[in-house]
Amino acid sequence: MNILLIYPVESLQFNDLGYNYGLGSIAAVLKQAKHSVELLILHRWDKAKIDKKINGYAPDLIGIYSASDQMQLIKQCVGYLNNKYNLPIILGGPHPTVAPAECMKIEGLMGICRGEGEFPFLELADALEKNKDFSRIKNFWFNFNGQIIKNDIRPPVEDLDSLPYPDREIFDYQKIINRRLFKDAEVMCSRGCPYSCTYCINSFLNKLYQGKFLRKRSIKNVIDELKQLKSGYKFERFIFHDDIFTMEHSYVIDFCKEYKREINLPFAINARVDAVDEEIIRILKDAGCVMILMGIESGNKYIRNMILQRDITEEQISKAFKLCTSYNIATVAYNMLGVPYENENSIKDTIDLNKRIRPTFLSRFVFRPYPGTELYDLCQEKGWISERRVKSYNEGESILDLPTISKGKIRYYHNIFAQEVKNSFLLPVVKILAKVNIQDTSLYLFLYSYYRKIRKVIYMNHSLTQGKRGYR
């Protein structure tokens, strides 16, 4: 069976196209079962691109990855594909998982897949190919001429080693690596997170799967994939995208021993500030860890722990960043602006905390209330969600009308955040540019987006002319 996976990801203005693990894993499972799989990436509505792909590939089934930010583009796709080609279309991904009833209202859908999609989608493809009944496949909701069938959720894949390594070729993965400033190859050793931060979907997933969502691959399974990637692609380092790489210290210790012996390349990880100590930092450093990314989110204690439910102290934050600095490991601090109950003073608290801990790199996002999270429910209840639309939380625009701070102030602090923390000599100029609006954004952000594009072109050209090839 020919299966087309569609990946709508509109906004690449402020970030590079990343690899999608879910689509890669589904593609690998389907290919292992001898189905044909191709991928269509849509950065915007492009009817000609869709027609070219459909006519050239002739798919029998279409699966669309559906994130909340992309639903407008997805609805356009579904309507067009249904009207012109009348193909079976399935939505999968985070938005159908948390908002199934909303998604089932989209005209032209055969159904949606909730939760992990590898084996449900394989069952559907097999059933359609053999003309068998598929109406009771778990994880799916189906629309049969207006009658909605809601099937139960199956348990998550317990043995992650049983899955084939995610397919990367459908993404032209080397091209993705080459476009990045940091030439990373991304990997995940686990799925899930046990914490219940109010802005994150993991809390919903833990309830959906009754607390069984956190699972780990065996160390051997991960190392074997790393060897495969090392021999198949050119890159400079690995980055492990596990929500919290350091969750289980015994796993980290054993992994680092094998990694140093078998792989021995630089790598970066995600961690929580309360899930690292000096022993783990030392072991990570010895194995080749060059960067740790950690979430602060807010420098204001009330916002951080009562609203976001991060349950971490300023002392833990300071200690974790200090430890990384002492072992010469670069750090990235994640920060969030425009959270419910945020005001100018709480944003200044976040700026001041970043000044004290002095991360190597700063990352700041404007808060988005995503369906399936506690804060989304709060914002809906309070009537704070406006009709404004953004394509990405990287845009610096808030869709909330908060009583405690205006969207203009949120945008302003988002624009000046990095220069303020660094106390840059450019700060006075940035503050002026951040107050001038152009094309529904600040002049600063407008100019900065073009600066990033130019910098990327210069960097890529320099890498090519210098023959920079990365590690193999």
Tens digits of residue pLDDT in 409-457: 999 999 899 899 998 888 888 788 777 776 556 666 656 554 555 444 4
Please tell me whether residue 53 adopts helix, strand or coil conformation. helix
If you average pLDDT over residues 348-361, what whole number do you get? Answer: 97
Say which CATH architecture domain 2-150 belongs to.
3-Layer(aba) Sandwich (3.40)
pLDDT band of residue 467 (cuts 50, 70, 90) is very low
- pLDDT at residue 116, rounded to an integer: 96
| Residue 366 neighbours by CB under 8 Å, 6+ apart | 336, 337, 338, 393, 395, 396, 397, 398, 410, 411, 414
From CA 65, how far away is CA 7, in angstroms rounded?
Answer: 5
pLDDT at 449: 58
| Strand 140-144 relative to strand 111-113, pairing | antiparallel
Lowest mean pLDDT, pick from 3-12, 42-51, 281-290, 389-398: 389-398
pLDDT at 42: 93
- 182-384 maps to CATH 3.20.20.70: yes
Residue intervals of the chain classified under CATH 3.40.50.280 are 2-150
DSSP H helical ranges for 33-171: 47-57, 71-85, 94-98, 100-103, 118-129
* CB-based burial, 440-451: b 16+ in 10 Å, e otherwise: ebbbbbeebeee
**Local confidence band at 353 (pLDDT 50, 70, 90 cut-offs):** very high
- Going by the DSSP 8-state scheme, the letter that residue 369 receives in this structure is -
Q: Which ranges constitute the DSSP H helices of 272-406?
A: 278-287, 301, 314-326, 344-357, 374-382
Domain with CATH 3.20.20.70 in the chain: 182-384
pTM for this structure? 0.90
C-alpha of 325 from chain center: 26
Place of tokens 């995208």: 241
Tokens in use for 201?
């979907």
Q: How many helices (H) and strands (E) does the chain have?
A: 18, 17
Say how many C-beta atoms besides its own lie within 10 A of residue 361's C-beta. 12
